[in-house]
Structure 1
Amino acid sequence: MIEAMTTKARLALALLIGASVLTAGCATRPDPSDEAAVHAYEQANDPIEPLNRYFFELNRFADIVALKPAAELYDGVLPRFAKQGVRHFLDNLRSPVILANDVLQGEWERAETTATRFGINTTVGVLGLDDPASDYGYSRHGEDFGQTLAVYGVEEGPYLFLPVLGPAPPRDLTGVAVDSFFDPLTYIYWDGPYTVPVTRFVLNGVDMRARNLGVLNEIERTSIDFYATVRSLYRQSRAEEIANGQTNVEDLPDISNISFE
């Protein structure tokens, strides 16, 4: 069974690479004389944009027919305390991955916070269904191996949007793969090797979609180009996560020449 799935995965990867090569030529570089267009092209860093847009529309279709209705049902049926319990539980399960990346980044205080949160919420919080650690001053933060690679200077790479996964540039896609080795749930075999991770993945997707129903509707309604907006928001979000929420003063606009007279 596993061998068959591995063969299918290799075939899918081969098809993806082949399609990428075939469509890469569609995202042609603009005329060098058009500086604004060249700058926008380089900022987008999206050499296989036609393929990415195709997968983006596939995901939108899946969202319309399955994920969004499931999220609306989940949001409408479950009381607030139950949804909070699900979120706390899923966040607590993520703690070993966050801790591993805290340590790899040399963020010892954050690692201590993560370990303390996990201990408190797993015991006092009843397996993570509640979050008393936050009440004790141990606020949650997220880390993943994609962020760890960024801390050590690895570039994001060209933008890539995949079915189901969504935005997944090479650096962050590598991070997803490595984080699976840090995740204890990867090694739990319950009615098959993928049951537990897939169940967690689906539940997390439905919960996150439910929490962002209004936000995503508003973004789509007000976006001239929904795909480009999602791409931009993803990069902004990742940049903030990598910086641990700290503003890089080098990215701020130069206001030295502004006159207040």
Structure 2
Amino acid sequence: MITWIQRCTSLTLLVGLLALQGCATVQTADARDPWESMNRSVFQFNEVLDNAAIKPAAELYVKVTPSFVRTGVGNFLGNLGDVWSMANSALQLKAQAAAETFMRINVNTFLGLGGLLDVATEMRLEKRKEDFGQTLGYWGVKPGPYVVLPVLGPSTLRDTLALPLDMQGDASQRFSDDATRNALTVTRVLDIRSGLLQTVDVVKAASLDPYSFVRDGYLQKRRNDIYDGNPPSNFDYGDGESEPK
């Protein structure tokens, strides 16, 4: 059976290939976003989908689920995510980060009731989020053009190509039962979207162009992710500069 995750993976790769083949000549004022016309169309599709289904589902999730339960769910999913973050810290030769994340996983799993409680943060074990896109960036792979993916939202060509491995590295996908995997995926979407309910509304209300606001914010965040929050002052996304080693 083809799972929801596999469908999304195939779709994102297809979008990347179509972009490379058909959109390279689109003119744009921003060198980071040569496929802006296509990206805006996908952005609008995602907006419609969000307003019609994802946002109402997230609002219902908040309404019917007690806050302490939502916190526990977020902690549990975060603990699963720490496994892949640990692996990518190791791939980036960040020994201390990998060791601390390993300790976080063990503390939260065994002392935090399987990850429902975030005991590790109270013990000042810093939570880090690392993915394979960041690992590729660490080893010098440039981000490439900005891409908006159907359903999944903002990305870059590098992060899109890394996405299938990120999905396979997700510990929640290691469960053998399809229903369990899909339930965890849906729960993660609701957990993430419910945490952004007020933020997204503020962005839409305050921004003259929400598309540009989201794009610029995403690219800045990914740059900070690659440099662990300390990008060089002379960093230029489009100057061909390599990512750090």
Q: Same fold per TM (> 0.5)?
A: yes
Aligned residue in 2 for 1:64: 51
> How far is the alpha carbon of 1:154 from its aligned partner?
0.6
Contact 1:121–1:131 (CA<8 Å) still a contact in 2?
yes
Contact 2:13–2:160 (CA<8 Å) still a contact in 1?
no
CA distance in structure 1 between the aligned counterparts of 2:233 and 2:8, rounded to whole angstroms: 47
* Correspondences of 1:90-239 after superposition (within 5 Å): 90-190=77-177, 192=178, 195-239=179-223
SS at match of 1:168: strand
> How far is the alpha carbon of 1:15 from its aligned partner?
7.5
SS at match of 1:161: strand
Aligned residue in 2 for 1:52: 39
Q: Look up the equivalent residue of 1:88 and give its one-letter code.
A: N
* Correspondences of 1:12-27 after superposition (within 5 Å): 17-18=17-18, 21-25=21-25, 27=26
> How far is the alpha carbon of 1:239 from its aligned partner?
1.4
CA distance in structure 2 between the aligned counterparts of 1:16 and 1:179, rounded to whole angstroms: 16
Aligned pair in 2 of structure 1 residues 13, 122: CA closer, same or farther (>3 Å)?
Answer: closer
Aligned residue in 1 for 2:30: 41
CA distance in structure 1 between the aligned counterparts of 2:68 and 2:51, rounded to whole angstroms: 27
Aligned pair in 2 of structure 1 residues 13, 173: CA closer, same or farther (>3 Å)?
Answer: closer
Aligned pair in 2 of structure 1 residues 65, 103: CA closer, same or farther (>3 Å)?
Answer: same
Q: Look up the equivalent residue of 1:212 and give its one-letter code.
A: L
Q: Look up the equivalent residue of 1:94 and give its one-letter code.
A: G
CA distance in structure 2 between the aligned counterparts of 1:202 and 1:160, rounded to whole angstroms: 23
Contact 2:12–2:149 (CA<8 Å) still a contact in 1?
no
Q: Deviations over 1:112-163 (max 9, x none)?
A: 1100010010011001000011111112111001001111111001111111
- List runs of 5+ in structure 2 lacking aligned partners: 236-245
Aligned pair in 2 of structure 1 residues 74, 153: CA closer, same or farther (>3 Å)?
Answer: same
Aligned residue in 2 for 1:28: 27
Q: Look up the equivalent residue of 2:221 and give its one-letter code.
A: S
Aligned pair in 2 of structure 1 residues 160, 15: CA closer, same or farther (>3 Å)?
Answer: closer
> How far is the alpha carbon of 1:22 from its aligned partner?
4.1
Larger radius of gyration: 1
- List runs of 5+ in structure 1 lacking aligned partners: 30-39, 252-261
CA distance in structure 1 between the aligned counterparts of 2:229 and 2:23, rounded to whole angstroms: 36
Q: Deviations over 1:171-206 (max 9, x none)?
A: 11122222234334333221x3xx444332321121
CA distance in structure 2 between the aligned counterparts of 1:213 and 1:225, rounded to whole angstroms: 18
> How far is the alpha carbon of 1:218 from its aligned partner?
0.8
CA distance in structure 2 between the aligned counterparts of 1:160 and 1:129, rounded to whole angstroms: 34
TM-score (norm 2): 0.85
Once the two structures are overlaid, the 10-residue window that deviates more, 237-246 or 57-66, is 237-246
CA distance in structure 1 between the aligned counterparts of 2:37 and 2:216, rounded to whole angstroms: 16
